[in-house]
Structure 1
């Protein structure tokens, strides 16, 4: 009797055994079969073991969506390692903070990335750099660096790879936390396989599915498209982004894509086109959305233009991958709902004391099940804070920090956030982190970061800064400073230089009053003039908020 694999990497090997010559991955002009991906990742694993790589060692992958990134993930897992994918657009201070926190022994990145900023800083003397670029020689400044292409070539001798258990660590997913500091979410093979299997189950994926993935592999939503495809034996079309819309649409048409995972900013871009590309999307079987709430207006337009396509509005968080999905047959009835719990996951909505609330009443969403993370890497205090213990270890509940309500039919509705995190273009951003970074700019006395509504991204970052009287600071200087220390999606879209910030009775910044005053400003001078005299930029009174200082 044959049982399903329990390791992420074993699913690739199983699919390669059943369908060796089937195209597994289309990316960067390459079309790789399952046999090729499996063999290259095994060769990489063997080469890593030969360098002294040990079970449990961490590896940071800082690459664009590419065949090399996928091969790296599976090679690391086969070698018994733990991978973390970092967005290559991130500045080196962010990358190095993750390398340091994870204590990564290896960094896999492109040669061109090494010449941006200060470059990598390794936490240990035995840390190693692996370069992806097609050249056969190491860069002059990194003479001991290994070349990726050579590591994926077949070795003359067979190398014994470590034996793994399903509860061994597989991945660290870094995301902003309640403190604004990136935190590593610990995922075992069991966590990842059960999550992927549950999603495959409700999407009804088969080996005939061809999935387009334009989402970064550093984003768990993008990462799982590859993991799932390799489990059900489909084909993944891996693109770097959705920036070149017409090229992506051409790829969907050419490759006969059946599955299209997106976020609201992508659906907004499609709806902004002069003519909705229904003809180029005719091969689609389903579209999924998560990362941020899918606007009902987007859903209605997609139903109008693509009536034959199943639409899945979903909710999830990196700490447990996915929580719920709205069955497609309910999308017209309850388009503002994120549906029901996915298979193999239990949810509850509770009040501040942890007691269940009645149907229709808002409360905090808590979840339990095998897809829930093990905890936060090297942060026992935060791990203890987010988990509510049960009678035994596996009964513990993850407190999501998100406010939900559930109707009498069991459908879930997202209400809002309990802390200062926002979702921008599918990315989770903590406004406290933005404030902490900008506070390092010389000459500022106060900083306040706020969410600003955005038609495409849902919300973007806006900041108000108070400068010392003798300092002349411009909004462009603030933005340039942010680009040095923040990922691109965290850089404020709008900056205001103000004379003061509203305070609470305890002397703290009154964010509620601040946001309300900016909403008043948006209405124009007649209703907002008296309440917004402190809102100025470059010495010029501003009478409108929307679109101000966009970059």
Structure 2
């Protein structure tokens, strides 16, 4: 189906319009140049590497226009792109590569050196330096007559490996169908037009780096600029100086921008709002941006669906602080209790999703797919509640909920109270096994440069807002919280850290 080849369409309609730019190299591509170079990459994949439909290309590189063009070429050929974390160790990469069995691996920098040494011990895949691969493709000549392209709607285009908080990472299959309907959801809710312009700073190994703004923007014929590494000051200056109308970030990035000195004088006349996801937003952070006249449009999504599932319109950002909004236009959603019944307002339940935005399953893992997708409904594991106006609020992960003395406790409820305390910069609460209570809460906090703050001060603050059984039994101050590649707090590492801290305590004489 040629309607899925968006770049070819815009190359015909607006060939000279600027499509993408790299801030790292300064290079700009028009839609025609994007189309032509992608075709050259396709020729290289077919002729030099002998790839065919259904083959996989694993990529260990930062995001860039070149990475995008590789995707465009692969999509046209029915080849599946597997974006891997460029910060991963050889052990982590080995798991993903042996699971997906790629024909070709493209890597850059230290990742290439790492794989050059070890790839031969666990894979027969060809390995190429990403920059060399691209340079070779650019040198090719386009044929006078271009081959007709047929893109199948249910053909997988990505395999995204999840963070693995429930074990080893699992490959989520992402199809053309998901991309198309996700783009419609995004365009409708965020009101994207061909006049829009964004800066992409998210990494490519997560669905948000592709499917929240990048591909929906290109579907609409808009413009996307790339920056490989997020730098708060550089991003603030660029948004201020360039006509950036939409920007996507995770809360960690927004906090870093607020703390940067450049934020004090920051002013962005063109920026309509900032799209935010990945983890809950603190009220303090929402207010800090609102004082600059910039609203945060919070949303919800996951690797297995969308990822644009709900959106909070920026006009509702202050009225419904902390909400993820309402379901997007082409999404079926329900929130159910443990009996599978839909919950009433303000009752907690699990978010379930159905429709064209849901993954067909997990790569090489049909049993896990069966457990997650039941009668076409994806059980997300995310717990939420709905208010009387139909706005949804995330209350945490199903597997993060812990039971202390027979009471269900949701960490996010405690975290939001911690964020009310001015000296708390970051907070995370986890449940830890306990002989007396079954589980107890442990809070990890990062302070705003105040060494004199005592745990009792935090406890007294919590007692003002929470029932006694919800108050953590231990509070630990850290210099920073461990995070995943896109800035999500890594709760598995926090649990392991607590075990180490407890072990050291027990061994102190």
TM-score interval for Structure 1 and Structure 2 normalised by the shorter chain? 0.7 to 0.9
Query: Could you tell me whether the CA contact under 8 Å between 1:57 and 1:104 is conserved in 2?
Result: yes
1:397 aligns with 2:377: yes
Query: Could you tell me whether the CA contact under 8 Å between 1:206 and 1:233 is conserved in 2?
Result: yes
Deviation at 1:343, TM superposition (A): 0.9
State the TM-score, normalizing by the size of structure 1: 0.72
Counterparts of 2:141 and 2:32, CA distance in 1: 16
Q: Which runs of 5+ in 2 are unaligned?
A: 403-417, 447-452, 461-473, 483-509
Query: Could you tell me whether the CA contact under 8 Å between 1:502 and 1:514 is conserved in 2?
Result: no
The residue that corresponds to 2:215 in the other structure is 227
Counterparts of 2:62 and 2:429, CA distance in 1: 23
Counterparts of 2:153 and 2:113, CA distance in 1: 39
The residue that corresponds to 1:314 in the other structure is 299
Counterparts of 1:49 and 1:511, CA distance in 2: 58
Select 1:68's aligned residue among 66, 69, 75: 66
Select 2:278's aligned residue among 266, 291, 316: 291
Select 1:344's aligned residue among 314, 330, 334: 330
The residue that corresponds to 1:99 in the other structure is 97
1:240 aligns with 2:214: no
Q: Which runs of 5+ in 1 are unaligned?
A: 135-146, 390-395, 423-452, 463-500, 529-542
The residue that corresponds to 2:195 in the other structure is 208
The residue that corresponds to 2:44 in the other structure is 47
Query: Could you tell me whether the CA contact under 8 Å between 1:522 and 1:546 is conserved in 2?
Result: no
Deviation at 1:372, TM superposition (A): 0.8
DSSP-derived class of the 1:191 partner = helix
Q: Provide Cα deviations, 1:46-103, integer angstroms capped at 9, x if missing partner.
A: 1111132110111111111222211111121122201121121212221221111111
Counterparts of 2:121 and 2:274, CA distance in 1: 41
The residue that corresponds to 2:130 in the other structure is 132
DSSP-derived class of the 1:276 partner = helix
Q: Provide Cα deviations, 1:161-210, integer angstroms capped at 9, x if missing partner.
A: 76331111111111134532111111110111110121111111111111
* Alpha-carbon spacing, 1:421–1:197, altered in 2? closer, same or farther (3 Å): farther
Deviation at 1:337, TM superposition (A): 1.3
Query: Could you tell me whether the CA contact under 8 Å between 2:202 and 2:208 is conserved in 1?
Result: yes
Residues 476-495 of structure 1 mapped to structure 2, 5 A cutoff:
none
Residues 325-364 of structure 1 mapped to structure 2, 5 A cutoff:
325-364=311-350
Query: Could you tell me whether the CA contact under 8 Å between 1:80 and 1:162 is conserved in 2?
Result: no
Q: Provide Cα deviations, 1:405-440, integer angstroms capped at 9, x if missing partner.
A: 112221111111111499xxxxxxxxxxxxxxxxxx
1:37 aligns with 2:10: no
* Alpha-carbon spacing, 1:274–1:461, altered in 2? closer, same or farther (3 Å): farther
Counterparts of 1:168 and 1:262, CA distance in 2: 29
Query: Could you tell me whether the CA contact under 8 Å between 1:183 and 1:376 is conserved in 2?
Result: yes
* Alpha-carbon spacing, 1:522–1:38, altered in 2? closer, same or farther (3 Å): farther
* Alpha-carbon spacing, 1:200–1:119, altered in 2? closer, same or farther (3 Å): farther
Counterparts of 1:525 and 1:293, CA distance in 2: 24
* Alpha-carbon spacing, 1:122–1:18, altered in 2? closer, same or farther (3 Å): farther
Q: Provide Cα deviations, 1:422-469, integer angstroms capped at 9, x if missing partner.
A: 9xxxxxxxxxxxxxxxxxxxxxxxxxxxxxx9966654999xxxxxxx
Deviation at 1:511, TM superposition (A): 8.0
DSSP-derived class of the 1:93 partner = helix
Query: Could you tell me whether the CA contact under 8 Å between 2:194 and 2:222 is conserved in 1?
Result: yes
CA-based RMSD: 3.2
